[in-house]
Amino acid sequence: MGYVFDLRGVLSGQYLDWFLIGVATTLALTCAAWCLAMAMGIVLTLIRMIPLPPLGWLVALYVEYHRNVPLLVQIFVWYFGVPSLLPRPARQWINAHHGEFLLAAIALGLASAAYIAEDIRSGIRSIPKAQYEAARSIGFGYLGAMGYVVLPQAMRIAVPPLINQTLLLFKNTSLAMAIGVGELTYRTREVESYTFKTFEAFAVATAIYLAISFGIMALGAYSGQRLKLEAR
C-alpha cells in the first residue's frame, strides 16, 4: 500500500493548537528579537560615529563576533553560559519567567544587530555630509543632527537590506528549539513524534514559514513604496 498524504491528522484537535502556539511563539520571538536588534543596531551605529578609535574597535569586535561565530553557539552561550555568571536570585527569576525565550530573543537580537548596524552604516554613508552640516547650522548638536536628519534618510535607504535581515531573523528563530523554546519548529517536532506523520507535519510547517516570509516581504515592499513617496 502506498503512502497516503493526509493533513487532517496533524491539523486537528490538540495538534492544531500546538501549531498555533508554535506560530505565536515564533512571531513573538521574531518581534522581541527584532526590536532589540533595531535598537542595538542604531546604538552601535551611533557609537561607531563618535570619533574615538577605541569605541570603533569595540563595535568592530562586536560585529565580527556575531558574524563569525555560529548562531547556535551564540544561543548556547546565552542559555548555558550567561546565567551561570549571574547571582542565584537572577537565575531563579530567569527560570521562573520562561528564561529560554528571553535568552533566545537576546541571542538572536544581538546577532541580528551586528548586521543591521552594517546596513544602517552604509545607509548613513550614502547621505551627503552637507545634510549633517545643514542640521548643525540650524543649531542641532551631533545627536540631533543624526537623529532628526541623517538617520531618517539613512533608514529609508536601508529598508531593502533591513527587510532581508528581518527575514533571516525570522527563519533563525527555529534555532531556538535547541534550548527548548516552544516555537514552530519545536512544536512541529512534537506533532510529528506524537502522530508519526512526519511528512505532513513538516509540510504544514513549511507552508507556514513560507506564508509568513511572503508577508514580511510584502510589508517591506509596501513600506518601501510609502517611504519613497514621502521622500519625493
Partner 1 sequence: MIRFENVDKWFGTMQALAGVSGEVGRGEVKVLVGPSGSGKSTLIRTVTRLEAIQGGRVLVDDIDIASRKVDINRLRQRVGFVFQAYNLFPHLSAIGNITLGLTKLRGMGKAEARERGLAELARVGLAEKADEMPGQLSGGQRQRVAIARSLAMDPQVMLFDEPTSALDPEMVGEVLVVMKQLAAAGMTMICVTHEMGFAREVADEIWFMERGAVLERGKPTDLIDSLGHPRLQGFLRTVSHGGDIHR
Q: Which residues bind partner 1 (CB under 8 A)?
A: 130-131, 133-141, 144, 148-149, 152-153, 156, 230-232
Q: Which is nearer to partner 1, 92 or 137 (CB)?
A: 137
**To the nearest whole angstrom, how small is the minimum distance from the Cβ of residue 134 to partner 1?**
4
Determine how many CB atoms are found less than 10 A away from the CB of residue 14. 10
Q: Closest separation between CB of residue 166 and partner 1, Å?
A: 22
To partner 1, the closest distance from the beta carbon of 162 in angstroms equals: 16
DSSP 149: I
Output the nine-digit C-alpha cell for 100: 529560554
- Among 162, 132, 165, CA closest to 149: 132
Please report where in the chains the cell 553560559 appears, as a residue: 81
Residue in the structure block whose three cell numbers are 514621502: 230
Burial class, 107, CB count within 10 angstroms (exposed 0-12 / middle 13-18 / buried 19+): buried
Q: Is 9 or 147 the residue whose CB approaches partner 1 more closely?
A: 147
CA distance 179 to 106: 13
Q: Which is nearer to partner 1, 8 or 232 (CB)?
A: 232
Least distance in Å: CB of 124 to partner 1?
A: 14
Residue number, 88 or 129, with CB nearest to partner 1: 129
Phi, psi of 177 (to 5 degrees): -60, -25
Given the complex with partner 1, which of 218 and 231 has the nearer CB atom?
231
Give the nearest distance from C-beta 137 to partner 1 in angstroms.
Answer: 4
Could you tell me the CA-to-CA distances from 56 to 42, 69, 215 in Å, in that order?
14, 20, 36
Instruction: Select 49 or 94, whichever has its Cβ closest to partner 1.
Output: 49
State in angstroms the smallest separation of the CB of 38 from partner 1. Answer: 18
Q: How many helices (H) and strands (E) does the chain have?
A: 12, 0
Only one residue has cell 501549531, namely: 19
